[in-house]
Amino acid sequence: MKLTTKQEVEDFVRGCTFYATGGGGLPENGVNSLMSEIEKGKEVGWIEVDHLSDDVLTACPFLMGSIAPHSSEVINEMEGFGFVEGVNSEKERLAKAVIELEHYTGLKIDAIVPIELAGANTSGPVSAAVSLGKLAVDGDFCGRAIPEILQITPYLHGKDYLPITSVDEWGNVCIIKESTSLRVAERVGKMISASAYGLAGQAGFVMTGKELKETIIPGTLTEAYELGKHIRISREQNLDVINQITCKTKGWLLAKGKIQSFEDEDRIGYYWGNTIISGVNEFDGDTFKIWFKNENHVMWKNEKPFVTSPDLICIVDLETGEPIPNPKIIVGQNVAVIGISSKPQLRSKKAIDVLGPRYFGFDMDYIPIEDIVDTQKK
């Protein structure tokens, strides 16, 4: 599939942002990354994974870190390190991380796979692939966005992840050559990004085409594009866009309401916080709380556990259906919350152990969203 116009790019980024469940970078950065390649006359798009031969080499570049807004105190601190004018855009960080990976390993990477579905963290890798003259593959490793790299299918399949190369906005380059576990590599990677006060471009998970076919969740980039396009067309036709999204994704409307309060903090490379929503319309009298660590992971309804990861908790504008990243949440906004079943690959015990509510420190078990909704209907 190819993206040739700004409208197609915006549709794609919109769909990716929806599946990002509040995290995954800012969509405007994703649009800028893709448009910068189209404006150069480059062909932007992706191929089906089955079109790759088994012996090609693939890699996964990804943005790692927090997208929390910088306070004036943090900006002053950054200035003390000379971090004023960045030298690498998000796309450039990712492309340079791939180049560093090739230099360090001595391997030539043929194809690029996004780590997740997200406004910036899918568009960035696709743009990096185009800028490097490499193939971008239609698929990702989780069918949503996640805060930690051990929550993706290569980890679940026991694939190698090292080395991981890192290039930040300011030009600092690091290589994680060895680590005692992927969880430790995640921690080191986050510390690298935290030291740069933002998102570092990192690359790793080198696999053959054969290995990739064993781990990838195929077709998700096209799926995101189709959803983003559907949201836009539903608006243009004055349809009930919330209902249209719910039907298109085979999801559930979990809430309609107004943002009552929003608390956030930047904590060691992650963006943490809580969103409180007061119900309106058919949800009048209900109160909802959503906890996020980059992405939305645990939702309560009237102080009782409701929906949790690995299932998706997606906040959109109540009128337009536009997905809202967590840094863009504003008190007083009218929103809808839509829940979607996770991909089957994230329903295994190993996946739930690293993406379910207990992993995040909550004393509750994961219950599939379809079971929760069915129970409430009875």
Q: What are phi and psi of 245, to 5 degrees?
A: -65, -45
Q: Which DSSP state fits 341? A: P
Q: Options 3.40.50.300, 2.70.70.10, 1.10.3720.10, 3.40.1610.10; which CATH number does 2-220 get?
A: 3.40.1610.10
Q: Which two tokens stand for residue 86?
A: 């960045």
Percentage, residues of the chain above pLDDT 90: 96
Predicted local confidence at residue 374, as pLDDT: 73
Assigned architecture for domain 242-377: Beta Barrel (2.40)
Residue segments in the chain with a per-residue pLDDT below the cut of 70: 375-378
Predicted local confidence at residue 22, as pLDDT: 98
Predicted local confidence at residue 267, as pLDDT: 87
Predicted local confidence at residue 377, as pLDDT: 55
Predicted local confidence at residue 378, as pLDDT: 42
The closest of 56, 61, 51, 107 to 209, measured between CA atoms, is 56
Q: At what angle do helices 6-19 and 220-236 cross, to 10 degrees?
A: 110
The closest of 66, 318, 30 to 200, measured between CA atoms, is 66
Mean pLDDT of the chain: 97
- Give start and end residues of each alpha helix (H) in the chain: 6-19, 27-38, 72-80, 90-105, 123-132, 153-156, 182-195, 209-215, 220-236, 241-249, 349-355, 369-377
Q: Which DSSP state fits 47? A: B
Q: Which DSSP state fits 356? A: S
Q: Which residues of 166-177 are buried (b: 16+ CB within 10 A; e: fewer)?
A: bbbbbeeebbbe
Question: Where do you find CATH 3.40.1610.10 in the chain?
Answer: 2-220
The closest of 141, 117, 113 to 217, measured between CA atoms, is 141
Question: Where do you find CATH 2.40.390.10 in the chain?
Answer: 242-377
Tell me the pTM: 0.96
